[in-house]
Structure 1
Amino acid sequence: MFKNGVFYYYTVLSILFCLLSCNSDSSKPFEDFFNTTVSTEKELGYAVEIEKIALDHIESSSYIGEIGYLKDNIAFVDYRFCWVFLFDYEGNLIDKKIGHGKGPNELFIGRISGFSFLSNGQSLFHEASNRVFVFDNNWKKIKETRINWKGSQKYGKARNIKRPSAKEPIIYSPDFGNLKFKNFNKKCYFPIYSEHSNFNGLMGGYKYYKEGRILAELDLSNYSDINILRLLGRRTPELLNYSYLPHHSTFNFDIDSKGFFYIAHEIDSLIYVYDHDFNIKYAFGVEGENMDTNYKELKKHDVKKFRELFFNDRPKRGYYSDIKVFESNDQNLLVFRSYRKSISSAYDGLQIYKNKKLIVDTEVPKGFEVKYYKNGFYYSNGTIEEEEEKISFYKLKLYHSVF
């Protein structure tokens, strides 16, 4: 009886382990992240109107930073001086918060590298040295700590491993060239990449592109230990068509109310949708118009050439640059995807999908990305003219053009 019970117990454990591992990110073949039904449908009966709005001039700003949206305010987060300037939705300056300094509610850091306005009203700020800072909805600092990357290896030891595992958190770093934090259910997600000497985008054999993870899940449920819970996702199979393309290997993402991930890779016309355990559900997408996709690949490991391509050639090309998901009360799903056309184009592009069907593909100002929805309008990222000390944003109206 006892032996049978023990046998049954371990049999159940084995089955559970198999089920969990079979559904885990680490055990799935590369192809399982992309094999799915694909929709390329169009229903082009909509149009947009775009209006530019200037923010009030602000003193004591570096004009290096980004715009973010709160329920009642637009915020310009100054990365250099750590100010959070608050405006109303007409661009009028209301107040400024935080700032650089040693005060209890200030940031004494080199600069902000990324931020997120969390769904609970709190704010998270990230510094490149791996520190995060959390403020409550009254702009009082409630936590300052370092991210715990966990994993089985310590940082120094992991750097010396000849064959590092793609599952090892400590070999990754935040993708500072495209660092966007997205919040869902007491967790925050951000892009990552590896610079490990034996596992990076300049390595041959496509191992990095097929096995390297792209997202880190940050636990915000307990501020006493802000740690990495999971590493998720893979890079697009389109990268396997090139020898090396590390300067175009990034992606953009958003998360809906169910915790589904929407992944838009820089050189892939498809948008991939995954559930919260990163099982693929479906994909959809249509190529953007007049995109220069003549990507310059590396033929060998060459760090100098990579930097040249990243800083000088990449800005000339067309690529998908941002994605934002909106859900309406009538169960319609709208997905906005921005893209760059080419350096010779006076405009960039914006696609809008409704329930997986393309309904708009239109020209927009250079650098335009949709970030927020309020009272019938969609609001953009900021346009910063550093030398002129001007910041502006756009609000967009979507309407039927066919009646």
Structure 2
Amino acid sequence: MQYQLYTYMKILIKLVLIAFLFISCSTDKKPNSNFFNGVNKSEKKIAFNTIALDTVVFDPIESSYNGFFDIYKNEINFIDQRFCWIFTFDKDGKIQSQNLGQGAGPNELDTGFIDAYKRLPNGKHLFMGSVFDVHIHDENWEREKKFVMKWNLTKAGWEINADNLDPDEQRLYSPHYENFKIQTNSNNNVYFTVEANHILFNKYYTKEYYDMSRIFADLDLESGKVKSVFGRKSREYLNYNYLGAYDTFDYVMDSKNQMYVNHPIDSLIYVYNDEHENIYTFGNAGKNMMTNYPEFNSQEIDGIMSIYQNKKPNTSYYTDVKHIEEKDIFFRSYHKPIAEGVDGLQIYKGNVLVADVDVPKGFKVAGYIDPYFYSDAILEEDELTLKAYKFTLPNIE
């Protein structure tokens, strides 16, 4: 819908800049094996084949209806990305409060668009906008701090060339807005997704991008500095040449500071410790996966958008992950070809696949309020209502 169009426009702007300046490059640096040498703990023990979904209709609100849910304790918060309102509901969809909104006041948010949001472990609210802007509000929604993140730019743009290209050079990277997500660990360290868009190092023209590029940034909230870029793309990408339309990924973190990384073309989920070492993997392929992924290496914007709009929807790929730590349940959503009319949801108990069920298109799990699991917001363009699915699971040993 409107948010997808907004995201595509960001992608287009980047691609136009790249197209004017395209040059190929090469590098002999090798990826760190620690990112992919964990033991595979995948198991499968199917316990059920369907889930029953009930629909929750939320109280009416004045909203752009561009946004997402964030579930915190017993609250369901709808983050209105366009108008910067935060609507808080109870588990039955009854409105409890409305906060922020665009503006320069102490209880307002002066970013034009909320690209990402995260409730910090200390209860404060962290927002990121579209121009590297970071906003922190306290538990009562009052502005505490805002800044533009500072990248460690060791070289000027014109100094970077094929002979000295370093994948750790922060100048190569920017937030990965196509699936932008913030996560924090127990020490309030902040991580966010990044992608390389340099003319010498990008997903549409550089094969080495899939082998060498970093995928995360580590942000220090005190100094505002990006401390490092790290992580790697799945080695599955190396079986192809250019899969720019499948460059997104999703991840979550747990209370042990472990990071779970899910790549769209890889059936495995990679678990990392706080030293960024792959300690193990788990995961099983979705049902009847259509993996005829279209490869594309071109400067033509029309061709790139055709991949996104016409070819990618007819393939299968993994999308979102959610870890409900108190229940030891891990959800992974995956896209099925449009013709099937449904998507898939895998349900893991620990590292054991216990169910792989059909769900409505675009379905992903937002969180848990006892006794229900809730989906992310259902937003219909022609229907100014806010809805969600809720469901329970059988006892799983």
Q: Please classify the TM superposition score into its range, dividing by the shorter chain length.
A: 0.7 to 0.9
Q: Please give the alpha-carbon distance, in whole angstroms, between the structure 1 residues aligned to 2:34 and 2:72.
A: 37
Q: Match of 2:106?
A: 104
2:111 and 2:133 in contact (8 A); partners too:
no
For residues 276 and 371 of structure 1, what CA distance do their matches in structure 2 show?
24
Matched, 1:285 2:288: no
1:51, 1:395 within 8 Å by CA — same for their partners in 2?
yes
Structure 2 equivalent of residue 219 of structure 1: 220
Match of 1:16 in 2: none
- 1:34 offset after TM fit, Å? 1.6
- Aligned residues of 2:41 and 2:281 also touching (Cα < 8 A): yes
Output one character per residue of 1:157-210: Cα deviation in whole Å (capped at 9) or x when no partner. Answer: 236511331101222111111011112121121111011000111234x31111
Partner of 2:339: 344
Instruction: Report the counterpart of residue 66 of structure 2 in structure 1.
Output: 64
Deviations 1:277-310 (A, max 9, x none): 1111111111101332221111455444223212
Residues 371 and 380 of structure 1 are in contact (CA less than 8 Å); yes or no, is this contact kept in structure 2?
yes
Give, as a single letter, the amino acid of the residue that structure 1 aligns with 2:157: A
CA distance in 1, matches of 2:111, 2:158: 26
2:334 counterpart letter in structure 1: Y
Tell me the SS of whatever aligns to 2:382.
coil
The structural deviation recorded for 1:243 is 1.6
Correspondence 1:165 to 2:163: no
Output the aligned Cα RMSD: 2.0
In the alignment, the residues of structure 1 paired with residue 313 and residue 118 of structure 2 have an alpha-carbon distance, to the nearest angstrom, of 26
Distance change (3 Å), C-alpha of 1:159 and 1:362: farther
Q: Distance in 2 between matches of 1:55 and 1:377?
A: 16
Q: Percent identity?
A: 38
Letter paired with 1:183: T
2:262 counterpart residue number:
264
Is 1:41 the counterpart of 2:43 in the alignment? yes
* Aligned mate of 2:143, from 141, 144, 147: 141
Name the counterpart of 2:56: 53
Distance 1:109 1:326, change over 3 A: closer
Which of the pair has more CA radius of gyration? Answer: 1
What letter corresponds to residue 284 of structure 1 in structure 2? F
Q: C-alpha distance in 2, partners of 1:390/1:310? A: 28
User: For the residues of structure 1 that align with 2:243 and 2:172, how far apart are their CA atoms?
Assistant: 20
Aligned to 2:96: 94
| 1:376 to partner: Cα distance | 2.8
Equivalents in 2 of 1:42, 1:237: separation in Å? 23
State which drifts further: 143-152 or 43-52.
43-52
Structure 1 residue 90 displacement after superposition: 0.5
Q: CA deviation at 1:140?
A: 0.4
In 1, Cα distance between equivalents of 2:286 and 2:113: 35
CA distance in 1, matches of 2:166, 2:396: 52
Question: Would the aligned equivalents of 2:349 and 2:396 in 1 still touch at CA under 8 Å?
Answer: no
The Cα offsets for residues 260-286 of structure 1, whole Å up to 9 and x where unpaired, read as 111110110111111111111111111
Q: 1:131 to 1:292 in 2, by over 3 A?
A: same
- Could you tell me how far 1:115 is from its partner in structure 2? 1.0
Which deviates more, 103-112 or 353-362? 103-112
Question: What amino acid does structure 2 have at the position aligned with 1:53?
Answer: V
How far residue 337 of structure 1 moved from its aligned partner, in angstroms, is 0.7
The two structures have a TM-score, normalised by structure 2, of 0.87
Q: Give me the whole-angstrom Cα distance separating, in 2, the residues matched to 1:71 and 1:41.
A: 30
Q: What's the counterpart of residue 182 of structure 2? A: 181
Partner residue of 2:131?
129
Alignment partner of 1:388 is 2:383:
yes
Q: CA deviation at 1:123?
A: 0.7
Out of 85, 99, 119, which is 1:83 matched to? Answer: 85
* AA matched with 2:94: N
| CA drift at 1:109 | 2.9
Query: Do structure 1's residue 118 and structure 2's residue 120 form an aligned pair?
Result: yes
- State the match for 1:11 in structure 2: none
Return the offset for 1:125.
Answer: 1.1
Partner of 2:22: none
Contact 1:191 1:214 in 2 (8 A): yes
Looking at structure 1, the residues matched to 395 and 31 of structure 2 have their Cα atoms a distance apart, in angstroms, of 43
Query: CA, structure 1 residues 101+362, in 2 after alignment: closer, same or farther (shift >3 Å)?
Result: same
TM-aligned CA distance change 1:159 to 1:190, over 3 Å: farther
CA contact (8 A) 2:212 2:232 kept: yes
What CA distance in whole angstroms lies between the structure 2 residues aligned with 1:294 and 1:68? 34
TM-aligned CA distance change 1:87 to 1:171, over 3 Å:
same
Tell me how far apart the structure 2 counterparts of residues 374 and 44 of structure 1 sit (CA, whole Å).
Answer: 24
Unaligned residue ranges in structure 1 (runs of 5+): 1-26
Distance 2:297 2:72 in 1: 45
**Residue identity in the other structure for 2:268:** L
In structure 1, C-alpha distance between the alignment counterparts of 2:311 and 2:102, rounded to whole Å: 35
Q: How far, CA to CA, are the matches of 2:342 and 2:196 in structure 1?
A: 33
Are the structure 2 counterparts of residues 64 and 43 from structure 1 closer, same or farther at C-alpha, using a change threshold of 3 Å?
same
Q: Distance in 1 between matches of 2:40 and 2:345?
A: 20
Write out the 4+ residue segments of structure 1 that deviate beyond 4 Å after TM superposition.
299-303
Alpha-carbon separation, structure 1, partners of 2:129 and 2:371: 35
Going from structure 1 to structure 2, the CA distance change for 1:113 and 1:327 (only over 3 Å counts) comes to: closer
Alignment deviations for residues 38-76 of structure 1 (CA, whole Å, 9 cap, x no partner): 2332111246332220111112x1111111112232111
